[in-house]
Structure 1
Amino acid sequence: MAGFYFFLAIVSVMFTWAAIVQARRVYWLAPLYFLAAWLAGELALIHLIWQIGLTALLAFSGLLGEPLAQIGLGLFALSWLGLVYLHVQAMDSPRVLGLALRRGLGEGYRNEIPTERHKLLEDGISAGSWLKPFAMKRRGVRVHSHLAYGDAGDRNRLDIYHSDQPREGGFPVLLQVHGGGWMIGEKEQQALPLMYHLAERGWICVAINYRLSPKAAFPAHIVDVKKAIAWIRENIAEYGGNPDYIAITGGSAGGHLSSLAALTPNYAPFQPDFEDADTSIQAAVPFYGVYDFLDRDGIRPEMSMEKILADKVLQVSREENPELWEAGSPLTHVSDNAPPMFVVHGSHDTLVWVEEAQNFVAALEQASKEPVAYAELPGAQHAFEVFHSVRTDHTVHAVTEFLEWAHARWDRAD
């Protein structure tokens, strides 16, 4: 038992260290490093609780007197200090998110949200939520599952989340696009905390599957996203939604696709056989997205995505079809036609480096006529908002504020 305790102490220190340190040039270790940092960073206090509980159990059993267990205790103590630091860092998220919204939208942005909607905004978080990270369902939220929006079978199906209480004027719509490197992923696996939170508060959330590589080559992925937007415009009123207001979000590959969809309204090359459909987007919240297939600023030369993009996703090299690589990059389409956007990225993202978001936001701020907010969350890893955590729940509240602000602004203009 002392040996097992010592082993767990080593693993715990390694996980905690991975979450604290911004180590990105880890090459083939990147997936393992990301997994360790992600679990430790988002579940810091939960790790602290079980580690202290295990130590107390060993102390009660009289096993902590063994030399190996005492070394393990010292290692665990280091882990505990790091986990407390990570928890405090996550608790600082509302300051970072609030500053991002005030800078992007203006100091008085909350005053633009109707008074009757203010009571639905939240500044604090519940420990009962982040202590149960995988408890997603919320009372009063209905889900319609596996509705077809295209002809690609299971990959063209969507789920609809909405409240059982109607909203005057219809529910504004949020379209969620899952991530997974354009090659894996399902509509039920990402952004559930955000979708259930919004659905409770009078939004309708639509989560989609789309065709994946290598079976399908880009631009099949964005074509499917556009098909989903067209389907929403034609059908969402049947579920109480307002087809005139569609916001979009997604993480990682979903961040890429959601930002690309937002920046290419009614773009014919991405709408084969449905060129006349209205695929405009009224607001966008991309999370930790890939914004430039070409990596034109040389952000990640040592850990390039070029090979996997060429072999699996686009299935053509940039030399063979530079136009496709260019068209598939959201950065290419940045213009004064962009909708209001709230870009969210973690400073410690191992898989998609934060400089990509910084460059994308800088281009948006220079070109767009609409407000741009950017939150760079200290210590956050890739996929941080997949389940409930301190950081996730604060981010969900900030995104809710942004979407309520964007919808209110649109409603007044309309």
Structure 2
Amino acid sequence: MDRATLDKLYNNREAVPTHPQDIARWATESARARAELPCHADIAYGPHPREILDLFTLAAPGGPLLVFIHGGYWQAMSKGEAALIAHGFVRDGLANVATINYPIGPEAGMDQIVASIRRALLWLWHHAPAYGYDRDRIYVSGHSAGGHLTLMAMLTDWPALDAGAPADLVKGGFSISGVYDLRPIRLSYLNDKLGMDDAVAARNSPLLLLPASTSGLPPLTCAVGGAETPAFLQQQHDFVTAWKARGGQVTAITAPDKHHFDIVDQMAQPGAVLQTAMAAMLRRGG
């Protein structure tokens, strides 16, 4: 496809004229979560100013941890718009929730962004005893760019980064409106701030990093809105097909009538399709 076509297919804000209201709602609901739920705010997990996280904890110790990674095409947004998902899990005692910030473009490149996510997860694994969650039950979810980063976390060789960390540090993944092949992104307007070359896009594309067999990897759920652009529907189809072809466990969800923004609310609403699927993953331990 030429750049004009890719620009249109990947411009979610242009495709959803109501996106300012959606983002404003996320911010309002996230502020309410931080005010109403037990929250350890702005914990530093690394040296970069954006390497901070919020941790929403359950009253009872020993519960699982759900880590949520915000979207924004690796160049916008923050955990300040992501904490609303704590409503769907902390209030009903299903899981502790961590929402994380990470460096973004153009200041940070994709390699640095991915390294930051891995640093956050290692920090959360090491510091579980201090905050009372079970470090052997860490799950990762994210939206859009966060969906991409969810898969980069799942495909990480953890012992290679930290000899004490288990290979299965992440027990399950839930990607929402994810981007799994960065090659189209490199050819679109989005790369103006990301500056990826072919090599960077390739080594950070989950679709290109799948092992010969995915049967030993944690269970995965991929969700996309039925009203999203064809690019996002294709990204999910191609990735789920490749994961299944290699023998892995994956559930594909298409949320009817949901677009790229209002699909996120599904994680904040108990009983909604995405929240129910994530809760089921937490309950069955993978």
Equivalent residues in 2 for 1:15-414, closer than 5 Å = 26=8, 31-36=13-18, 136-137=32-33, 141-153=37-49, 155-164=50-59, 166-167=60-61, 170-190=62-82, 192=84, 194-200=85-91, 201-266=93-158, 268=160, 271=161, 277-278=165-166, 280-295=169-184, 306-308=187-189, 310-313=191-194, 315-318=195-198, 322=199, 324-335=200-211, 336=214, 337-350=216-229, 352-369=231-248, 371-387=249-265, 393-405=272-284, 407=285
Q: Structure 2 CA distance, aligned partners of 1:209 and 1:135?
A: 15
Deviation at 1:254, TM superposition (A): 0.3
SS, match of residue 57 in structure 2: strand
SS, match of residue 384 in structure 1: coil
Q: Structure 2 CA distance, aligned partners of 1:390 and 1:174?
A: 15
| Aligned residue type for 2:178 | G
| Aligned residue type for 2:204 | G
Q: CA-to-partner distance for each residue in 1:228-264, whole Å, 9 max, x for gaps?
A: 1110111022111111121000000000001111122
Q: CA-to-partner distance for each residue in 1:195-219, whole Å, 9 max, x for gaps?
A: 2221121411111100111001111
Deviation at 1:291, TM superposition (A): 0.3
Verify the 8 A CA contact 1:147 1:158 in the aligned structure 2: yes
| Aligned residue type for 2:223 | V
Q: Structure 2 CA distance, aligned partners of 1:31 and 1:237?
A: 41
| Aligned residue type for 1:253 | A
Q: Structure 2 CA distance, aligned partners of 1:308 and 1:386?
A: 24
Verify the 8 A CA contact 1:161 1:199 in the aligned structure 2: yes
Deviation at 1:338, TM superposition (A): 2.3
SS, match of residue 398 in structure 1: helix
Deviation at 1:391, TM superposition (A): 10
| Aligned residue type for 1:357 | Q
SS, match of residue 78 in structure 2: coil
| Aligned residue type for 1:198 | F
Q: Does the C-alpha gap of structure 1 residues 292 and 151 become closer, same or farther in structure 2, counting only changes over 3 Å?
A: same
Choose between structure 1 and 2: higher helix proportion.
1
Deviation at 1:403, TM superposition (A): 2.3
Q: Does the C-alpha gap of structure 1 residues 30 and 404 become closer, same or farther in structure 2, counting only changes over 3 Å?
A: closer
Q: CA-to-partner distance for each residue in 1:260-298, whole Å, 9 max, x for gaps?
A: 111223285xx5xx5765573110000001000124xxx
Q: Structure 2 CA distance, aligned partners of 1:342 and 1:152?
A: 31
Q: Structure 2 CA distance, aligned partners of 1:25 and 1:309?
A: 8
Deviation at 1:357, TM superposition (A): 0.2
Q: CA-to-partner distance for each residue in 1:175-225, whole Å, 9 max, x for gaps?
A: 111110100111121261x32221121411111100111001111111111
SS, match of residue 197 in structure 2: coil
Higher Cα Rg, which structure: 1
Q: CA-to-partner distance for each residue in 1:286-328, whole Å, 9 max, x for gaps?
A: 0001000124xxxxxxxx6524454322x2422xxx3x22110
Verify the 8 A CA contact 2:110 2:196 in the aligned structure 1: no
Q: What is the root-mean-square deviation of aligned Cα atoms in Å?
A: 3.2
Deviation at 1:25, TM superposition (A): 8.6
Q: Structure 2 CA distance, aligned partners of 1:391 and 1:26?
A: 34
Verify the 8 A CA contact 1:263 1:339 in the aligned structure 2: no
SS, match of residue 72 in structure 2: coil
> How many residues are matched?
271
TM-score with structure 2 length normalisation?
Answer: 0.82
Q: Structure 1 CA distance, aligned partners of 2:38 and 2:123?
A: 20
SS, match of residue 16 in structure 2: helix
Deviation at 1:344, TM superposition (A): 0.5
Q: Structure 1 CA distance, aligned partners of 2:16 and 2:192?
A: 23
TM-score with structure 1 length normalisation?
Answer: 0.58
Q: Structure 1 CA distance, aligned partners of 2:55 and 2:269?
A: 26
